[in-house]
Structure 1
Amino acid sequence: MDMRVDLLLDILLAGLLLATLVYCFVLNRRLSRLRNAKGDMAEMVRSFHQATEAARGSVAELKQASDAIGRDLQEQLSRSREMLEELDLVTSSASRVADRIEKGVEHARPVQDQRSAAAPETQTEGRSHAERDLLQALRKVR
């Protein structure tokens, strides 16, 4: 009986050793995959770092471009404001001149009415074509 127990224990020990051997083999394969994945991961991290640096450079270039565009727009806005002020000045001057012309026409109208009563055909004789056009335009505005 002693032999049977020894044999049974030897078989059990051999089975456990075989199970340990299989487990070590599986563990070795998993560790190999992990080492390979570590290399792939390092490559991925390097690639990510390069992409990050390229993006950082692009952001800096975009910032410079937007600053330049902002300065150009500010210059154009300043020039536009200056032109607007100049245009307002010209418009107000033109309005004053038009008011003076209108007052002159109104002042001349009673004299002209007296002349037209005396000689209706001489109403347009003394005026140039430009003067007649200007008077017609002023009459239309009223």
Structure 2
Amino acid sequence: MATRRPSPARAAPLYTNPPAGKYQIILTAFGERDADGDGIENGLDTCPFDVNVGNPRVKGEGDADEDGLDAACDPNDFENNPDQDGDGYLNRDDICPLVPSTQKDVDGDQIGDECDTVGHGPDVADGKVPLVIQAAEITIK
């Protein structure tokens, strides 16, 4: 752990490396829920219960009409309809793109309550939270 060294009154604190030796570090990172297990988190997945054809991070991939709805759940992937359910929220920003919704998400799983019925219902979060733990030993000389 870095140690703090006194610094002039107006300067920012100065941090230095710890003394020479071996140290164990553990890094922990949590991801976001993914209900269908396709590697795309619910908040970005316009088809949270169907495995996506494309990657929503790449414009047009898996979305021939580029309306923001993946081909896996787009009723007509050759007709551009940026608001498939007509609720005023564009597909890409809609947490329930095929059903008109209020954008409420009681369980916080990033799937709109009106769509959140597969498996659990709107009061139980869908998808596991991925956890990565990485441990390493470092040597400071």
> Smaller-chain TM-score range?
under 0.3
Q: State the TM-score, normalized to the length of structure 2.
A: 0.21
Question: Which entry has the higher C-alpha Rg, 1 or 2?
Answer: 1
Task: Report which of the two has the higher share of helix.
Answer: 1
Q: State the TM-score, normalized to the length of structure 1.
A: 0.21
